[in-house]
Structure 1
Amino acid sequence: MPSALSYPGVYLEELPSGVRTLTGVATSITAFVGYTRMGTPDKAVPITSFSDFERAYGGLDRDSPVSYGVRQFFANGGAQAIIVRVATGYASAAWTFNGGSPAAPVLDVTTASPGAWGNDLRITVDRAAALNPDAQFNLIVSQLQADGVTLVPLETHRNLDMNPSSARYVESVVNNASALVSAKRRGGLTFNQTSFAVSKTVTFPLTATDLVIGGVADGSQAFRLTLAGPAPASMAALVAAVNTAIGTAGLTALLQASESLADGSAGAGCLKLASLTAGESSGVVIAGGAFGGLSGSIHLGLANGGREFTGNAQHRPAEVANLVPPTKGVDGTRAGANEIVGSASGKTGMHALQDVDLFNLLSIPETYDMTDLQAAAVIPAAVDLCEKRRAFYIVDAPAGKNLSNIASWANGVTQSRNAAVYFPAVKLVDPLDELRPRAMAPSGTLAGIYARTDANRGVWKAPAGTDATLNGVLDLAAPLNDLENGQINPKGVNALRNFPAYGRVAWGARTLKGADAQADEYKYVPVRRLALFLEESLYRGTQWVVFEPNDEPLWAQVRLNIGAFMQGLFRQGAFQGKAPREAYFVKCDSETTTQADINLGVLNVVVGFAPLKPAEFVVIKIQQMAGQIQA
């Protein structure tokens, strides 16, 4: 009913339908953890193509198994990946720019990510082309091309200012706009009072030696000011004393006349003050208020159409052209098992994925090049992370595993429903080794097949069979026949096979809990991944239920919305059964949520589903028909 019925007539009111559509989450966002040549370490970054990987992480690198895995992922149908770079011994290329007189460091510029790639960058500081040449500067980032001569400008950051209160403050502009470098202003220019720019912290009251100021007006005419009266005891008193001294010395007319020369010519409309004490060269107080104080009193500055020569100009970097980085960048090297695992509290290594909203698959190709002891430190930690995040881990066994020990190794390192292992390794054509074949970890290829199968058929379809071809794979490290396949399949190890006409295919769909002896309900990869998909989708799609009144109207809404979601999956063929009642159920009523639960603030929802199981063994029986013995 409307809140107030005050006049005769018709009232309209919109009523909520109670329908809150649940949307299924993505199923094949793959996280890759390991060494890359470029990129910010210990930071999870999403990409959508191998071109993105080349730009951000340097592309293929012989020391980076992840780079080959990512290429295979996209070649086999992957669409979304997340990269976590893990490296050790890396360094960023860096520049330090001097300013003032005598020269002192005023600005540090560093490449956006570590690596030797930054050694080809060159930086130019240009004052003359800035909008306000007396106080601003342009920062130009160029790259040296392969010929060692040609420079190509990549970024130009214009009209930068050293004043933190400026809208063109160098740190704010560069750090938010640049994909190549970051900037950090050095200490020295101090803003110790709101809107007053000074070269250093001023201690009041000033001493007698501070009361004489020498400088140059209009870029050429020297002058000397003596501050009359007692030593200024505050910033405002200092500004007033300087203004009085300017008038006494007869400089006001000169400075006001220079205002008319505000056409961009050198020295027009500017005032330069030397230091308060002998031997110091940095500027003193130049502006107070927005355009007030000394600058406003003598009608200078941008507010009056001229140039505002403020204290920060004393600390601008000196002009340089195409400066080579004095501090060289270093790519670093592949990290060990401890660095790949990283720290949960520090969010380093694989734990950088804690900051990711969603990932479904995990690949760590570097375990292929580890010893069994090193891999045993990485794989259980990765499994634990996946179980907490409802993700699935495609395990890469260390190189050297053979038919006789792969199953015992796999069952010894982990027995998780959220993981699967494949044997043998794949051989890829290596563009960095004159197209020779190279044995590599198969997880990147398999992650692409998972993504392709999800897109074409759904997460409930096993990523295996004659459709699960291994694109980009030249050969397998060890060919398997049917009998050899039969040795590892019952123990939960998935085979990669080579069949005539079909080529290389994934020929197994069991989790590491899939050994026949365990008889686990999540024996198969598609069943487990479908359950993870349902869990994540329902978790995200029912957040609105929290704090709602816990009674039958809410229960009905929950049944309606979850039921509609499950019905949509049923119509896509995600479950067994001819009718919805055979395929799934959603229960949320007084049987699942008792009065005791309500008193405790608990709402219980039970969702059941009948998963599709892959036809792992196809048995065809053939018999002869007996001849007709009767008419």
Structure 2
Amino acid sequence: MAQVSYPGVYIVEKASGVRTITGVATSIAAFVGYTRKGVPDKAVAITSFADFERSYGGLDRDSPLSYAVRQFFMNGGTQALIVRVAINHATASWVLEDGTPDDVLDVTAASPGTWGNGLRLTVQHTGVRNPDADFNLVVSQLQPDGTTLVPVETHRNLTLDPNSPQYAEAVINNASALVRVTRHAGLVFAEAGLAVSTAIAFPLAPTNNTIGGTLDGTTPFLLTLADSPWNNIGELVTAATDAITAAGLGAQLQASETGADGGAGNGHLTLESLTAGESSSVMIAGGSFGGLSATIHMGLANGGREFTGAAEHRPDVVSNVVPSSPGADGTRGGATNLVGNELAKTGIYALLDVDLFNILSIPETFDMTTGQVAGVIPPATALCELRRAFYIVDAPAGLALATIGGWANGASQSRNAATYFPPVRIVDPLDGLRPRAMAPSGTLAGIYARTDATRGVWKAPAGTDATLNGVLDLALPVNDLENGQINPLGVNVLRSFPAYGRVAWGARTMKGADAQADEYKYIPIRRLALFIEESLYRGTQWVVFEPNDEPLWAQIRLNVGAFMNGLFRQGAFQGITPQEAFFVKCDKETTTQADRNLGIVNIQVGFAPLKPAEFVVITIQQIAGDLQ
């Protein structure tokens, strides 16, 4: 209601109550298994096989996952998530030292693997903003010829001051795709932003108040500091500044810093022997010394922008340093590693951190025994049921036509899973283009994605349109009679037909055996239900905490009904009219007063799914002719 105060016309905008429900993606495929490189136990999104090559090393003979991802994109996939699972891997690392030498910076490759062994590090002190405190770090990559180095990253004007915007850890760890750095634990910070090799204990009352220094690297001088004891680093800097002024050395120190030719000099001032027998010194270095604290940007007067010991503890100049500890690719883990730990979010449980995935593929089960596979399939199907995803199960390679049906019925009874037989054979670029038998899940995941994009998630990913791209042959030819033996057991067959080539010739879930008569026996019906569930789950979050009465129920019916009607118009349901295809019910019958008292609103959504025409029966009959 507008606030009315004067005669006239008032305009009031009122919300329509329409909240559009957007359908979620249906073909984001998650692949779990071993790769040659990449961050372990973390789901990373990619959108092409080129992304996979850059981040995970491309095809690898020991990585069934790499071939599955290639097949996925070759068959129409567009979005994938990769979870690398490897054991006994190691990360290439370096330790950079200062001139003392003391360890000052720990550097590691961005992810484990032998790929990091080809990285080289270079530290530069010239060409930086502040030659006495800053440094550049150059990361180079050794080329395949074993001799050529190509600079890939250059991080400029770095400092070890954590209060600086050019702090090495912050700059490199946020900008670099190749390395990660941490300041070595040996550095001790006495005050915020003030670093020394050994902490200074204040108040400081040295027995020797003199400061030894050089004007140009060769001419020595001596200053005597007064007003000790000093209670903090600020008082120490003030005493040093007063001593420079009293000795009349400000101009000389400034000239020393500038250099005879107007360029940068090498003058510096070292606070040494502040306590008897103290071996650790405090280095004050930087620009001119006209006013020590302000001019060289050090100390409390400048908020610790640079810190005592900056020049001492920055990495010393080195060129193309090889890793001190080499990286290792690691090896495949077993079933336990693939499954991982739910609390630690390793293995398949790394997908718990992902907002959405629709298809799960674990190609390594193809190379396992039936006993090992039995440790992978139950937790994988449970995860898919939790996240409303669909698991394409790769059966062990040793199963034959006579045993695949019994294995499938014992392996899983999940509506959110399907298995295919026989394995596919592809041309292997790493083996002289010879055929290689491999798990079919990557190929089928691509077909799912292609079918979703061209026809919709309600269309069975099977038939003559579901051609297996990139598949040279099938590991075992299957005829009609053999197909008829395992299809009623819920095993989907891959067939080869003249003219059409290799195709997917089945669309049943692992709950799809005829004997079970499950309402979700078909893959498209189950995946359509998962799509509707996830879309409505996300699209009705606005309902929470709204007043639970007829105006809310009417809005729910309007918005959910509009979403379902949109699917009907696309051909997702049976029926000629919307009333025959779906219903949305939310009123006082579904939500009783008792429910309202408990804060519950009940929404009932029903739909008439399109069942695939799995069996086509053509009846042919002769016409007797005209008997008249």
Structure 2 distance, partners of 1:263, 1:185, is: 36
Cα offset, 1:629, TM superposition:
1.5
Distance change >3 Å, CA 567–CA 269, structure 1 → 2: farther
For 2:41, the equivalent position in structure 1 comes to: 42
Q: CA deviation at 1:274?
A: 3.3
- Quick one: structure 1 residues 210 and 97, their matched pair in 2 at CA, closer, same or farther if it must change by over 3 Å? farther
Match of 2:292 among 275, 290, 295: 295
Which residue among 129, 132, 135 is the counterpart of 2:130? 132
Q: After the TM superposition, which residues 530-609 of structure 1 pair with which residues of structure 2 at under 5 Å, given as runs?
A: 530-609=528-607
1:145 aligns with 2:138: no
Partner of 2:97: 98
Instruction: Note closer, same or farther for the CA distance 1:564–1:183 as it changes in structure 2 (3 Å cut).
Output: same
Deviations 1:45-68 (A, max 9, x none): 000000000000000000000000
Q: Tell me, in whole angstroms, the C-alpha distance in 2 between the residues paired with 1:6 and 1:292.
A: 69
Q: 2:426 aligns with which of 425, 428, 431?
A: 428
| Inter-partner Cα distance in structure 1 for 2:244 and 2:195 | 19
**How many Å separate the matches in 1 of 2:254 and 2:55?**
53
1:204 Cα deviation from its structure 2 partner:
1.9
Deviates more, 1:438-447 or 1:231-240: 231-240
Partner of 1:10: 9
Does the aligned pair in 2 maintain the 1:270–1:300 contact within 8 Å? no
Are the aligned partners of 2:213 and 2:268 in contact in 1 as well (CA < 8 Å)? no
Equivalent residues of 2:92, 2:113 under 8 A apart: yes
Query: Does the 8 A contact of 2:283 with 2:312 survive in 1?
Result: no
Q: Which residue of 2 aligns with 1:184?
A: 182
Letter in 2 for 1:61: D
Residue of structure 2 equivalent to 1:335? 333
CA 1:13–1:345: 2 relative to 1, 3 Å: same
Q: How many residues align?
A: 623
Question: Matched residue of 1:338: which SS?
Answer: helix
**Alignment CA distance shift 1:264-1:352 (3 Å):** farther
Cα distance, 1:367 vs structure 2: 0.3
Is the contact made by 1:262 and 1:268 (CA closer than 8 Å) also made in structure 2?
no
Q: Secondary structure at the match of 2:105?
A: strand
CA apart distance, 1:627 = 2.1
1:58 aligns with 2:68: no
The residue number in structure 1 matching 2:78 is 79
| Post-superposition offset of 1:283 | 4.3
Once residues 409 and 18 of structure 1 are traced to their aligned partners in structure 2, the CA distance between those partners, rounded to angstroms, is 52
What root-mean-square deviation, in Å, do the aligned CA atoms of Structure 1 and Structure 2 show? 2.3
Determine the structure 2 residue equivalent to 1:67: 66
Conservation of the 8 A alpha-carbon contact between 1:342 and 1:351: yes
Counterpart contact for 1:272–1:309, Cα < 8 Å: no
List alignment gaps of at least 5 residues for structure 2: none
Q: Deviations over 1:54-93 (max 9, x none)?
A: 0000000000000000000000000000000000010111
Q: Structure 1: how far apart are the matches of 2:539 and 2:172?
A: 40
Instruction: Name the SS for the 1:52 alignment partner.
Output: helix
> Any conservation in 1 of the 2:116–2:327 contact (CA below 8 Å)?
yes
CA contact (8 A) 1:511 1:524 kept: yes
Counterpart residue number, 2:116: 118
Matches within 5 A, 1:199-214: 199-209=197-207, 211-214=209-212
Q: Does 1:457 align with 2:431?
A: no
What letter matches 2:79 in structure 1?
Q
- The answer to whether the 8 A contact 2:32-2:85 is kept is yes
State the SS of the aligned residue for 1:581. Answer: helix
Q: Are the aligned partners of 1:132 and 1:308 in contact in 2 as well (CA < 8 Å)?
A: no
Whether the 8 Å CA contact 1:239–1:294 is kept in 2: the answer is no
Partner of 1:28: 27
Deviations 1:282-333 (A, max 9, x none): 5427499xx9997236x445999xx989522211111111111121110000
Once the two structures are superposed, what CA deviation does each residue of 1:507-549 show, in whole Å capped at 9, x if it has no partner?
0000000000000000000000000000000000000010001
- Maintained 8 Å contact 1:337/1:378: yes
> Contact 1:269 / 1:300 at 8 angstroms: preserved in 2?
no
Aligned partner letter, 1:174: I
By how many angstroms is 1:194 displaced?
Answer: 3.7
Q: Secondary structure at the match of 1:623?
A: coil
1:366 corresponds to which residue?
364
Kindly provide the amino acid, as one letter, of the partner of residue 71 in structure 2. Q
1:551-587 alpha-carbon deviations (Å, 9 max, x no partner): 1111111000011101110000000000000000000
Identify if the C-alpha distance between structure 1 residues 76 and 256 changes in structure 2 by more than 3 Å, giving closer, same or farther.
same
Instruction: Normalising by structure 1, report the TM-score.
Output: 0.94
Unpaired stretches in structure 1, ≥5 consecutive residues: none
More moved, 226-235 vs 352-361: 226-235
Q: Distance in 2 between matches of 1:195 and 1:210?
A: 26
- Aligned amino acid, residue 126 of structure 2: A
Q: How far did 1:95 drift?
A: 1.0
Residues 448-494 of structure 1, C-alpha deviation per residue, up to 9 Å, x if partnerless?
A: 00000000100000000000011111111111000000000001000
Secondary structure of residue in 2 paired with 1:377: coil
TM-score where L is the length of structure 2 = 0.95
Question: In the aligned structure 2, how far is the partner of 1:192 from the partner of 1:16?
Answer: 60
Structure 1: which amino acid aligns with 2:123?
V
In structure 1, the residue corresponding to 2:154 is in which secondary structure? Answer: strand
